[in-house]
Amino acid sequence: MRKLKDLPYILDYIYGNSVGGLVDLKNFRLLVSKRTGKVKQLFYKEKLFATFRPNGSFAPTPQTYYTLSKKVKEYSVTVKNDALPHIRNGSSVFAQNIKRIGKNVSVGSDVFILDSKNNLIGLGRATISSKQIKRFKSGLCVKNRG
């Protein structure tokens, strides 16, 4: 991403059409590396929105969910209440703890981990797709990254 005006297109690419239209570019600020000239971080209203990875993708933060929550439910998993304390402490999400999963969760995608009231409790990376998760009764589904 070279310019801030590209952000809506990137969000549409990652989260589907119409997500990019939710953002007001006036509230965003880029942090660019002085040495390389590449974008390192993206801030929304002075809160970290995303960190850019070396491969060009970005790692979402809790602020990403709060800003885009109306449109990113299909990129999330809702977990059962009895698993919440473990997941808040950094444990991964297993199939038996999933209450609902968004249809757009795919292998390797960043996933928002929610409680039953749609409050964000963590971020993770899916290890299997939503179709596979629905079929499995046990096993690791989302690696929690905080």
Q: Where are the domains of the chain?
A: 4-59, 70-144
CA distances from 122 to 26, 34, 39, 101 (A): 27, 31, 25, 14
* pLDDT 10s digits, 11-43: 888 887 778 888 888 999 999 989 988 889 999
* 1 CB neighbour count, 10 Å cutoff: 16
49 close to 42: Cβ distance less than 8 angstroms: yes
The highest-confidence range among 50-59, 64-73, 86-95, by mean pLDDT, is: 86-95
Say what the pTM is.
Answer: 0.88
Architecture of the 70-144 domain: Roll (2.30)
